[in-house]
Every structure is written in structure tokens, then in C-alpha cells.
Amino acid sequence: AGYIKDLAKQVAARREQIGLERGDSDKSATAALTTALPEEALNLLDLGCPTQCHLEAFVNRCAVKYVQAMLMPGEAVGAVAAQSIGEPATQMTLKTFHFAGVASMNVTLGVPRIKEIINAAKTISTPIITCSLNDPYNEASARIVKGRIERTTLGDICLYFKEVYEPTQGCFISIKVDMETIRKLQLELDVNDIRAALLDHRNLAGIKLSPQDVEVVQSRADKLRVRPPDKPAASRGGGKMFFFSLQALKAALPRAVVKGLRSTKRAVINKDDKGERVKYSILVEGYGMQEVMSTPGIEASKTTSNHVIEVERVLGIEAARRTIMQEIAMTMGSHGIAVDARHIQMLGDCMTYRGQVLGINRYGISRMRTSALMLASFERTTDLVFDAAAHQKSDPVKGVSECIILGSTINLGTGLFKLLYDYGGKQPRAAPYPVRSTPSGGSAAGGTGMVGASIGPGPRTPLLSRWRARAAAPGAST
């Protein structure tokens, strides 16, 4: 209330400065509304300075909306959220591709995308990393950063690969680098960098080269000589094997990664011309979010990925939870399906509340719950029941599935609470023993009894005890 009054005083002072009624009282507010024209009244109420009555009405409306949005204890929020997400998903198409800003890159949508998110798949069909630049309005800077990230192979920047057989130099592969292509792509690459990349066996499909095997031609700044690593003696038949080693090296050289990240496939510059200035960003197809964030020129705090598991590994569980909610909302929104944000939040919380991303499948549910009956009701019923029996597992029977299986009251809604009687500190009086009446009006225990005094059936005697009592009675036949 104090905050509203202080705000109302500031608004009233501002209205008085511009020649309007203060509006801080009922009389002043009525005068302001009666003296203003209809179009001015609209600006006064919506676009201009509000009065204290308007502020109080706004706060009251917010309080009413907040109370209406609250749920009662025992509400089945999980079932409602599952129904609200699952039913609209049946209206989605099976396979849809959405252009991610540019026509050459698309993202999987529809039912396959929802399945990837809910199952927490480790490998998705179209992983996309969206990168913001430190200088988003410079196209040249965007191309330089793109060259640092995109995977560039030796075959993309070379003119030819030649096999050379010389009596003095021996056998080697001559490589000529196209420096003009490197300049146009702005790759920040030279011959020495290419030589250093070829010495890494991960770039050459496991072929390990020594520093003596890769030679830069001193007279030319665009030529290299690469020799095979195996040089066995010819007396042991090594000449033939040397030829095959040379051919394997020649086949692996065009695919050698000399620039960029091996885990990425390609990078595309996205141009956004909706504002006053053209803004550039980079879309990377592939994995390696941590390496992309650490690339110079990339603003790491605004880098996102649509791969939930990779986001969890790099940024943590809270970022993965937010990614789950954003991806589900985006996937359904692309089909024109509106789902309340609280249902999507419930799904995100359910998948991440254990500290790691768990899919809604047999493997994830087995880590979420410890109830044997609930696990048996999902998949692999007989195997899970046998396993629970072998390990002597106990089930508290508190979940919905367990209560339905056993026919007990579900702990939701009116079945959530238990009603107890308060004796006020006194001990409850023992209930009288139920008396079973006989057809003659007497009681079974002897004496007189009333039929109405019996409360339900009498105590049952085991069959063997009744037979022994009958045999011991006088006059009983043997």
C-alpha cells in the first residue's frame, strides 16, 4: 500500500506539471475524466499518467488473477500436464522441417522432435548451436569467426594431390594449397598451420606422421611434401606394403581437418535485417558447444543449443531444464499449438528434479521411482516383478499406478487427507463384544439376549475345534 501511495504522489506531481488534474482523489479523478475528450480520455487511461484509483484497481486485478491461478492441495497436476501436452501432440505431423533462419539449414520438428526431447536422446537428428557475436553488425568479423568454427578439410583448400616417385627424393605426395581460396574464406591459415594439423593423427583417420614425414617446400609458400609413415626394407617384401601405405595416405589427406572443429559439420551466417541495422549471427550444425563458446569472437553468455544432453554437460541442470521448456514450446508453437507454460514447466521439472536429465522411458523412470509396481505397470512387467521378488523389495503403495493395481484409494483430491477423531485426551472405550442371537431368542453364550443387540456375525470358530467340542459332548455318537 505504501508503494502504491508513493507512486501515486509521483504521478500526481507529474500530471500537475503538464497542466492536468492531479487525480490523487476521487473528486480530482472525476474532474479529470469529465473535462477530457474521448480520445484524450483513452490516452489518459492507457497511455498517459494513471491515477491512484487506476493503480489500486490494477493491483487488485493482479491479486485476483494470482489467486485464481493457484491450485488446491491434492490437484492432479501431473495428469493434467500430461494430457495437455499429449493430446495436442496428436495433431502434429510426423516429419516436418523448419528453416532455422536461412534456407540452407533446417531443424527437425513435429513428433520426431518431441520424441527426442522427452526421451532425452543422446544423439539427435539436427543439432544446432546458435551463436551471438561480440560484434554483431560487422559482416567481415562474422566471416572470420565462421572460419574459426566451421570444419575445413585439406581437400577444400588444395588445388591437387600428386604422387611423386623420384630416385633422389623418394616417394611422396605433393600438395599445392590454393592461397586465393584461403583469402576469400578468411580462414587465418598458412602452410605451417596445415603442417601442424597433419601431424595430429586424429585428423588423418589414425595415421601417425612424424615431423620428418611432412615437409614444407622452402622455395614455395604453398607446397607441402608428405611421406608415408611406414618405410620397411625391400628385402622383406616391404616395397609392396609401402605402395599400399602411400595410397592409404593419399586417400586420407583430402579428408584431413586443418581448420575448425571436428565435431561440427558446417556453419552458416544468419542475417537479420528486421531492425534498423543488419544483425549477424552464426548457426553451427553439429556438436561441440563448449568449444564453440570458447572461440574468440563468440559471446558465450548468449550461445544456446537445441541438444538437451550437451547443454546439461556444459552449462548444468538448470540450463537443461530451461532448454527442455523452450524446445517443447517452440516445437508446438511452430504447429500453431498453444500449451500453458505451467504444463511445460511441470514436464521440465519431472525430467530434471533428480539432478540429471532423465527421459520418460523405461530407463529414466527406473531412476526416478523406487516403486516396483509402478515400474511393472510401464514396460517389461514380468521381468521387473521377478526382480523385485528376488531382491525382497517393499512397495509403499503411494503412487497412482500402485493404487489402481491394488484397488486402494488414490492419494489425490479428496483421497489425499485422512479423517481422524479427536477423543480430547481420553482413552477410547472398548466396543462391546458382538453377541450372536439364536432363533429361540436366547444368546449363543447362554442367558437371554435380544436379536437387535447383535452387531454383525459372531466370532467364527475353527472347524477342527468345533468337531472336537461336538465329539466331547455327552451322548455324541462315535
Q: Is residue 308 a contact partner of residue 156, using CB atoms and an 8 Å limit?
A: no
| pLDDT band (50, 70, 90) for residue 37 | low
User: In whole angstroms, what is the distance from residue 214 CA to residue 224 CA?
Assistant: 7
CATH topology of domain 370-413: DNA polymerase; domain 1 (1.10.150)
393-447: pLDDT as tens digits: 888 888 888 888 888 888 888 888 777 777 777 776 665 555 555 444 444 444 4
- Crossing angle of the two packed helices 341-352 and 317-333, in degrees rounded to 10: 140
Q: Is residue 128 a contact partner of residue 113, using CB atoms and an 8 Å limit?
A: no
DSSP state of 408: P
User: In whole angstroms, what is the distance from residue 115 CA to residue 360 CA?
Assistant: 10
Report which of 358, 284, 368 is spatially closest to residue 324, judged by C-alpha positions. 358
The whole model's pTM is what?
0.67
Residue 224, phi then psi, degrees to nearest 5: -135, 155
User: Which secondary-structure segment (H or E) carries 180?
Assistant: helix 179-185
- Crossing angle of the two packed helices 308-315 and 317-333, in degrees rounded to 10: 150
User: In whole angstroms, what is the distance from residue 64 CA to residue 61 CA?
Assistant: 5
> What mean pLDDT is reported for the chain?
78
Give the side-chain half-sphere CA count within 13 A for 255.
12
Percent of the chain with pLDDT over 70: 79
Q: Is residue 286 a contact partner of residue 263, using CB atoms and an 8 Å limit?
A: yes
In sign, the C-alpha dihedral spanning 448, 452, 453, 455 is: positive
| pLDDT band (50, 70, 90) for residue 468 | low
Task: Report the top-level CATH class of 152-231+239-259.
Answer: alpha beta
Q: What is the pLDDT of residue 314?
A: 92
52-79: pLDDT as tens digits: 777 788 888 888 888 888 888 888 888 8
Domain ranges of the chain: 1-69, 152-231+239-259, 370-413
252-273: pLDDT as tens digits: 888 888 888 888 888 888 888 8
